[in-house]
């Protein structure tokens, strides 16, 4: 049997998501718990996979793991939902044997930035330059084996108190992509660059420019969408909004 598990975490408490020797990471802590409770023997045999590997400091209200196990999903959710204080496990689902959570239909990231002295309409106009398919070579940390061409479906702006909230929707994102896009948008707002500079950087990716990297802590992986729904513990779901409020309170 293969199961997918849905969870949230405060990324500021860890050295990033992906497992690293001698460092506490989200993935590492979860894998230790799975092995401790006998849900898996090791990550290779269980075909353990994660949906997204967030950077150090980045939090999530939704990330997904999948693994093969003989243990009932009800028991797994019961145990894992009480296992951690800095990770909230709140959903589970039986999935097909070859399910890999990396292949999602849509990912949604949310960035909180200080909304003071930011013209929302102008910021939206700047953000429009990034929607659609582009070579993001100047707006991401590109690994040699990854294609820098990505498509951002939508960028939505809302206000939440003093925050300007920016939601990004796409199937996949590159390393540092959102934080570099946010940095560029803010630089336009501060008059340090113009929108045409962004358009030029997108149209000429081989002409290297650097518009900076926004801080990691205000970035949250908000949701990951598949063609199925998870089964949730109702009491656990109530914790998720509280969890987001706790994260943004300290930004």
152-209 residue pLDDT tens: 999 999 998 889 999 999 999 999 999 999 999 999 999 999 999 999 999 999 999 9
Neighbours of 197 (CB within 10 A): 16
**106-203: what fold?**
Alpha-Beta Plaits (3.30.70)
Helix or strand holding residue 31 (H, E): helix 26-36
Query: For the structural domain made of 2-102+227-249, what CATH number should be given?
Result: 3.30.70.580
Q: CA-CA distances (angstroms) from residue 168 to 22, 236, 251?
A: 33, 26, 19
Mean of per-residue pLDDT scores for the chain: 94
Region(s) of the chain under CATH 3.30.70.580:
2-102+227-249
What's residue 161's pLDDT? 87
pLDDT at 131: 98
For strands 87-95 and 106-114, give the pairing: unpaired
Q: Give catalytic residues, as residue numbers.
A: 55
Q: Which element (helix H / strand E) includes 50?
A: strand 49-50
Average pLDDT over residues 32-38: 97
Distance (Å, whole) CA 176 – CA 181 = 9
Give pLDDT tens digits for 204-241.
999 999 999 999 999 999 999 999 999 887 777 777 87
pLDDT tens by residue, 3-33: 999 999 999 889 999 999 889 999 999 999 9
CATH 3.30.70.660 residue ranges for the chain: 106-203
């Amino acid at each position: 049997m293969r199961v997918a598990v849905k969870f949230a975490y405060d990324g500021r408490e860890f050295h990033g998501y992906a497992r690293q020797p001698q460092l506490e990471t989200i993935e590492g802590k979860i894998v230790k718990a799975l092995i401790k409770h006998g849900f898996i023997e090791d990550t290779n045999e269980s075909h353990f996979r994660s949906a997204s590997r967030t950077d150090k400091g980045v939090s999530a209200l939704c990330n997904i793991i999948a693994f093969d196990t003989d243990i009932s999903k009800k028991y797994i959710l019961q145990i894992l939902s009480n296992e951690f204080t800095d990770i909230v496990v709140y959903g589970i689902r039986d999935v097909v044997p070859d399910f890999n959570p990396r292949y999602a239909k849509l990912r949604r990231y949310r960035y909180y930035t200080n909304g003071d002295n930011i013209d929302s309409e102008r910021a939206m106009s700047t953000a429009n330059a990034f929607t659609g398919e582009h070579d993001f070579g100047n707006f991401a940390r590109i690994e040699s084996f990854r294609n820098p061409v990505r498509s951002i479906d939508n960028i939505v702006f809302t206000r939440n108190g003093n925050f300007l909230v920016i939601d990004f929707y796409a199937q996949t994102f590159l390393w540092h992509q959102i934080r570099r896009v946010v940095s560029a948008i803010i630089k336009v707002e501060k008059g340090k660059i113009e929108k045409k500079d962004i358009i030029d950087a997108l149209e000429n990716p081989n002409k290297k420019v650097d518009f900076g990297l926004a801080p990691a802590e205000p970035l949250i992986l908000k949701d990951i969408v598949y063609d199925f729904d998870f089964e949730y513990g109702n009491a656990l779901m109530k914790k998720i909004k509280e969890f987001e409020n706790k994260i943004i309170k300290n930004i």
